[in-house]
Amino acid sequence: MPSKPVAPPGINLKDEKVQMAARMIQKSFRGHQVRKKFKEDGPPRFVEELKDVNSLSDSSARIEGRLSGFPDPTVKWFKDGQKIDEGTKYTIVFELPDLCALVIKNTNSNDFGTYTCQAYNQFGEAFDSAKVTINTPAKIEKGPPNQVCKCGKTITMTAKLVGDPEPDVGWAKDGEDVDEDDHLFWDIDGDTTILTIKNATKKDSGKYEVYVENEYGVDHSFSRIDVK
């Protein structure tokens, strides 16, 4: 059996004032323990860090992580250092018990960047960041028009492209890949590809195709050349 507390000499444990003083000491100790626990567990911290996100254009991207902290932290988000406000573009999510997320809707190339989450309460704050990359399927935004020209003229066919990662580009005539030479050749300049035919002859008449491809998509465009 546990032994009864022994009072120091001269102290009467049955004295009401002594008992009141003992209760105050116990209460103060419990308060100290609670404050110590809050100090240790209260400040926000990321128990699961934010992860980089790859998203296709015209879709939604979601950055998420997991937070701890007591009381529940307040969360703010920033893009490249600029505060993000909720609206039609962004939704801030904080789901119990500990998930925090940012949803970016209708993504496009402007959404590429570094996103930072700030979590804070009266005991401290924590930050974590992730990068968002927007991938765009290869596409021909504008293909070359049909053309009619005279023999001996120089013909140029221009197509405007989009795609991220940068797409592979090729040209074909009547279903066969173009073999480049001094007479017929093509090149790429930024988001544009140009096929050039010098000293055009009737043999250059036909159906031309420009095609693009990256890991997210394939596209092509056809046009007709008639040399007379």
pLDDT digit string (tens) for 100-116? 999 999 999 899 999 99
Per the DSSP assignment, residues forming a β-bridge with 168 are 213
Q: pLDDT digit string (tens) for 172-201?
A: 999 999 999 999 999 999 899 999 999 999
pLDDT 10s digits, 128-140:
999 999 999 999 9
Please, what is the average pLDDT of the chain? 87
CA–CA dist 159, 140 (Å, integer):
7
* Residue carrying structure tokens 């050749």: 185
Q: Are 228 and 148 in contact (CB under 8 A)?
A: yes
63 alpha carbon, distance to own chain's centre: 7
- Tell me what pLDDT residue 12 has: 57
Task: Measure the CA–CA gap between 77 and 118, rounded to whole angstroms.
Answer: 6
**Separation CA 87–CA 188 (nearest Å):** 40
The model's pTM: 0.69
Instruction: Give the pLDDT mean for 38-64.
Output: 88
